[in-house]
Amino acid sequence: MQDAIRVLAGECAVRYESDGRTERDLRGDVVVIVKPDDTVLVHDADGYQPAAWLTRPGVVRYTRDARGFRIDAADGDERLVVESATEHGDAHYPASPAGPPVGTCECDGTLVRDGGRVVCIDCRTSYAIPRDAAVVDEPCPDCGLPQLRVERGGAVTACLDRDCTPIADVVAERFDGEWSCRCGAALEIEADRGLHATCPECDASYRLPRGTVDGTCECGLPLFETPSGRRCLDGDCEQTPSAGGRDRNS
């Protein structure tokens, strides 16, 4: 079952091996959790930490016989084997990302924020978003999905769905031709693995940093107020205090 957690319980023999040596050899009533990424966790009655585990193994084999279940997980030189002597239960449960709710999906399911994406916990539709984006309460006037607010030259608002109103289009509409290159030509906003301010005359290209424009650098390019301090649009400009650190987070 896709996106499901498997839960097994029983009196089990548990063996964890590393580099061919047995490092844990356990026996008892345990609950075994196999997560959607195949991580295997073996929990006993003590505390919150698993008694044994193997994170994202390359291979997980699950077999059954008259006595119950056997799980054999391996990753390189590591191996975790769980074999039941008496089985208490075996079930699958749906699993989805869990995060702060941020709106309603087109399927009427709940959208939650999970790091650099927003996911519907019902239909599993997923939208990639910049990690610095704020999800705002105002729904998109075109599709009804939540909108995002980011700072790219200034605060801009765009649709969660890139196929509707992407951030790149909003930034280009607002700042295309707004700033001048060192050569004097107007800079254009282009999207190519991130947002760039590019010059059609001298072919200069600068990755647009996170932040808002706050003045002009001595070199003639705009200055940005960013989470890491003030910097020139040109991350390698030597005429600003923060020179030498190129912003790679756009």
Tens-digit pLDDT profile for residues 9-32: 999 999 999 998 999 999 999 999
pLDDT digits (tens, 9 = 90+) for 64-123: 988 899 999 999 999 999 999 999 999 999 998 899 999 999 999 999 999 899 999 999
| 170: phi then psi, degrees, rounded to nearest 5 | -65, -45
- Provide the terminal-to-terminal Cα distance of the chain, rounded to the nearest Å: 37
Q: How many residues does the chain have?
A: 250
Distance CA 232, CA 213 (A): 9
pLDDT of residue 245: 41
**Phi, psi for 17 (deg, rounded to 5):** -120, 145
b/e for 209-240, b at 16 or more Cβ within 10 A?
A: bbbebeeebeebbbbbbbeeeebbbbbebeeb
Does the predicted TM-score (pTM) go above 0.75?
A: no
